[in-house]
Amino acid sequence: MATDKRGRTLPKGVRLRGSVYEGRVTYKNRTYTVHGKTVSDVTKYLTDLRYNLSHGLKIENERSSFDDWFTTWLEDYKKHRIKVGTYEIYKNYYKSLVQPVLGKTPISDITVTDVQRLYNALADKGYSLSAIRIVSVLISGSLAQAERNLLIDRNPAKLALLPRMSSCSKRTALTREQQTAFVLGAQNSYLKNFFAVMLRTGLRNGELRALRFSDIDFEENVLHVRRTLKYIDGRGYFEDTPKTLSSIRDIPLTKEISALLLSQKAYWGFSAERPNRYLFCTKEGKPLSRDRVQKELDRIIDSVNENGFPLGRITPHVLRHTFATRAIEAGMSPNVLKTILGHSTLAMTMDLYSHVLPQYSSSEMEKISSVFE
């Protein structure tokens, strides 16, 4: 029999977990859990729960902890509606940022203040607004479903406010001088073609690592972006759909990009019998990992630094931003750039790269000056 802190025997189905008492009841082969600060609280919750279940008043357990309810929400309501990568992100964000604070709290006891304090604490710890927004999606989305299931009277997360902070950090792009130094430093790298293609297409890291030779149409001069490569512990590498529907796209090929892709085909000795092999891979033909790409970037940067040209840390996203910056500098239409980058909205493209436009606003204004003369 379970006992409390003083060694007293607890009622059947009740046990002490940390500083909280937990009660369990099984109904129609399904286990329901309640939590309370005292034994009497848990006993009352179990009595109410048994009554509600036997009379069909509640489909789920209104005194379940947020841990229990979040698992139900994620597995029963979200898993088959979101991508595998998104599912893993949700699990990881919940485990690291939400569970330590709200995990043991019964969903009916969560207040607006609880949610608001969590958002504020994350902001104080330096988490980005995008990270806090994901936390908001998890809390508000799961509690909204609890409200629809009549487990709670209202969703308290709807009234919580996201911290007022920058929606995104300033995107870093290489200057032309840094770009030249980087390209020269990458000449002896086995990933030189990988980085050269990224600089000329703006492809995301996972999209480029998932590229197959069969995705390239040299007759129509387009590169088909149809998938992204991901890795999950316990599952290994797998292909997922790109970030958004608009990320499934065709990118026009220039002669230079085509030459780089053909060069890569010959680099590991691709044969006609292996058209679906990843174009960018290891010598053994295995998928490239994110870490491997970053380590090679770091090695190139160290080499450039040793030669007297200081470069800060570069990630694959910096190369993507560099492509976008060069495209705007060259006069590419923002709407065309949006399509090539695979952004879901034009507003996203403009928000990310608006810092590039002021340098060209004066010359653009001059173009209409003659209209008023």
Tell me, what CATH number does 287's domain have? 1.10.443.10
Strands 20-27 and 222-225, bridge-based pairing: unpaired
Regarding whether 76 and 196 lie in a shared domain, the answer is no
Number of domains in the chain: 3
| Domain identity same for 346 and 210 | yes
- Give pLDDT tens digits along the chain (373 positions): 687 777 788 888 888 887 788 888 887 777 777 777 788 888 888 887 787 777 765 545 456 789 999 999 999 999 998 888 889 889 999 999 999 999 999 998 999 999 999 999 999 998 888 899 999 999 999 999 988 877 887 899 999 999 987 554 456 889 999 999 999 999 999 999 999 999 999 999 999 999 998 899 999 999 999 999 988 888 889 888 877 777 899 999 999 999 999 999 887 665 544 656 789 998 888 899 999 999 999 999 999 998 888 888 899 999 999 998 898 888 888 888 888 988 877 666 666 665 555 555 555 555 555 555 5
Domain shared by 232 and 303, yes or no: yes
Among 128, 159, 190, residue at a domain's last position:
159
- pLDDT tens column, 251-277: 999 999 999 999 998 876 655 446 567
Are the C-beta atoms of 156 and 255 separated by less than 8 Å?
no
Q: Is residue 82 part of a domain?
A: yes
50 and 75 inside one domain:
no
- 295, 353: one domain: yes
Class of residue 122 by CB neighbours under 10 A (exposed 0-12, middle 13-18, buried 19+): buried
Q: What's the token pair of residue 88?
A: 């893993």
Domain that holds residue 265: 176-360
Residues 39 and 75 in one domain: no
Spatial contact of 272 and 214, defined as CB atoms under 8 Å apart: no
Same domain, 185 and 312: yes
> What pLDDT sits at residue 272?
47
The predicted pLDDT at position 290 comes to 92
Do 25 and 83 lie in a common domain?
no
Query: H/E/C letters for each residue in the chain?
Result: CCECCCCCECCCCEEEECCEEEEEEEECCEEEEEEECCHHHHHHHHHHHHHHHHCCCCCCCCCCEHHHHHHHHHHHHHCCCCCHHHHHHHHHHHHHHHHHHHCCCEHHHCCHHHHHHHHHHHHHCCCCHHHHHHHHHHHHHHHHHHHHCCCCCCCHHHHCCCCCCCCCCCCCCCCHHHHHHHHHHCCCCCCHHHHHHHHHHCCCHHHHHCCEHHHEECCCCEEEECCEEEEECCCEEEEECCCCHHHCEEEECCHHHHHHHHHHHHHCCCCCCCCCCECCECCCCCECCHHHHHHHHHHHHHHHHHCCCCCCCCCHHHHHHHHHHHHHHCCCCHHHHHHHHCCCCHHHHHHHHHHHCHHHHHHHHHHHHHHHC
Output the pLDDT for position 52.
74
The reply to whether 98 and 154 lie within a common domain is yes
- Please check whether residues 183 and 321 belong to one and the same domain: yes
pLDDT value at residue 56:
64
Using CA atoms, how far apart are residues 364 and 182, in angstroms rounded to an integer?
Answer: 31
Indicate whether 109 belongs to any domain: yes
Tell me the one-letter amino acid at 165: M
Do 141 and 216 belong to one domain? no
Q: Is residue 365 part of a domain?
A: no
**The predicted structure's pLDDT at residue 270:** 59
Q: Would residue 164 count as lying in a domain?
A: no
- In the prediction, which pLDDT does 184 show? 94
184 and 49 in a single domain? The answer is: no
